[in-house]
Amino acid sequence: MNGVHDMGGMHGMGPIAPEPDEPVFHHAWEGRVHAINLASPTRGNIDAGRHRIELLPPADYLRMSYYEKWLERVEQLLLAGGFVAPEELATGRADPKAPKSTPVRPANTVTAALTGPYSYVREAGSAAFAVGDRVRARNLHPVGHTRLPRYVRGHVGVIEHCHGAHVFPDSHAHGRGEDPHHLYTVRFEAQELWGPGASPRDSVRLDLWEPYLERA
């Protein structure tokens, strides 16, 4: 979907200033939010989680820190899934009358769950493109989740790598199944994206699903 989160190529957002020796977490609560997200019963659909952050009002998105967005995401997903009641979330206390259930992730399974292999690779039919093909990113403007950034839509690039079929985020985020499609690394020259003022030596590489592409 189009929104303030899709900042690629936007002007006026200020310089990027990496923090020297940046810690993993700046505050203890950030580590707790990270753990809650990983342990949440909603964790199985990363695409739905990303879309939940995209739905933040623009002013909130720009105001919030990284882990504030993560906290808002998991709260809304837990509410939507019926895993927590609004009153419980507001008070931080479980409803004593609520039915008890077996934990989604018992403590003795956490390490294996967080360190075991996990993949979105799936099986699908034959790939439509091959390495070296010239393709154009389609000019799409979906109202739901997509991994096709606005700054590349309508521009021509070259397939550099074929990754096989992967879960398609545009479907998966909205509960329409995994809908696997082939995934490609596409190289776009900087001048193709930004015009003749860009450096002829620069390029951008994006991993894009097959439905985002057409032959150029």
Least confident of 72-86, 106-120, 124-138, 190-204: 106-120
Local structure of residue 101 (DSSP, 8 states): -
Residues 129, 168, single domain; the answer is: yes
Q: Which two tokens stand for residue 3?
A: 């929104």
Residue at 125 is within a domain? yes
Residues 210, 125, single domain; the answer is: yes
Helix (H, G, I), strand (E, B) or coil at 19: coil
Average pLDDT over residues 145-154: 97
Residue at 205 is within a domain? yes
What confidence tier does 96 reach under pLDDT thresholds 50, 70, 90? confident
Domain endpoint, select from 115, 150, 179 = 115
Residue at 20 is within a domain? no
Predicted local confidence at residue 215, as pLDDT: 98
For 39, other C-beta atoms within 10 Å of its C-beta total 16
Average pLDDT over residues 85-114: 83
- H-type helices in the chain, by residue range? 28-39, 46-54, 58-63, 66-80, 86-91, 110-115, 169-172, 190-194
Residue at 207 is within a domain? yes
The residue range of the domain holding 204 is 121-215
Domain endpoint, select from 115, 147, 170 = 115
Residues 125, 208, single domain; the answer is: yes
Count Cβ neighbours within 10 Å for each residue of 130-143 and write b for 16 or more, e otherwise.
Answer: eeebebbbeeeeee
Over the chain, what is the mean pLDDT?
Answer: 94
Residues 125, 210, single domain; the answer is: yes
Residues 148, 71, single domain; the answer is: no
Residues 97, 150, single domain; the answer is: no
Residue 183: burial class (beta carbons within 10 Å; 0-12, 13-18, 19+): buried
Residue at 206 is within a domain? yes
Q: How many CA atoms lie within 13 A of 137 on its CB side?
A: 28
Residues 142, 190, single domain; the answer is: yes
What is this structure's pTM?
Answer: 0.91
Predicted local confidence at residue 181, as pLDDT: 98
CATH number of the CATH domain containing 206 = 2.30.30.50
Local structure of residue 99 (DSSP, 8 states): P
**How many domains, in total, are found in the chain?**
2
Residues 209, 190, single domain; the answer is: yes
**Bigger pLDDT: 73 or 100?**
73
CB of 25 closer than 8 Å to CB of 31: yes
Domain endpoint, select from 115, 145, 163 = 115
CB of 191 closer than 8 Å to CB of 150: no
